Amino acid sequence: SLEVSPKTVSDYLNPYLPMLGITNKTNKNQIDHYAAVQADVTQTLREAEARKGSRLTKDEFSRAVLKTIGLNTKITTSRSLFGVSVGGSESTLNRIYSVKSKDDIAPNTQKKIDDLFKKQGRDLSKVTLAEYLNAYYSMARRGF
């Protein structure tokens, strides 16, 4: 059985980093993206442990990591001009973790995340990108 720790999660995540677009460990945005992904995968594994009632086997651990990385979320984009919706909206299935900046998140979802941080009494200007992405990932996993 494996312990869910930053080290084990990191070891299991490393082979998938290029797939997530994380190729440069010195780039600030990629570091934030990685931190958010690692935190979310760690949380997912802890939830899996809690459901099982004991530590995960190596197999269960790697399956959970793979499944989490492969999770898709439906992203609906509507075209708008000066805030007025024009034309139809299109839905695309994206890997949750392919979202790596605030710009990748729909404005209405950004508002939900901002409201979440405001409820916690946080100053939005002090919320890090990693925290923001992590909030998005956990909302996406739960289906908003």
Instruction: Please determine, for residue 35, whether its predicted confidence score (pLDDT) is greater than 80.
Output: yes
Give me the number of domains the chain comprises.
Answer: 1
Kindly report whether the global pTM for this prediction surpasses the value 0.85.
no
Domain span including residue 108: 1-144
Question: For the ranges 1-5, 84-88, 109-113, 119-123, which has the lowest average pLDDT?
Answer: 84-88
Which residue is it, tokens 């075209």?
A: 79
Question: For the ranges 11-20, 72-81, 124-133, which has the lowest average pLDDT?
Answer: 72-81
Quick one: CA torsion of 28, 121, 112, 93, rounded to 10 degrees? 30
pLDDT computed for residue 105 by the predictor: 87
Mean pLDDT computed over every residue of the chain: 84
Higher pLDDT, 96 or 109: 109
Angle formed by the axes of helices 58-70 and 6-13, to 10°?
Answer: 60
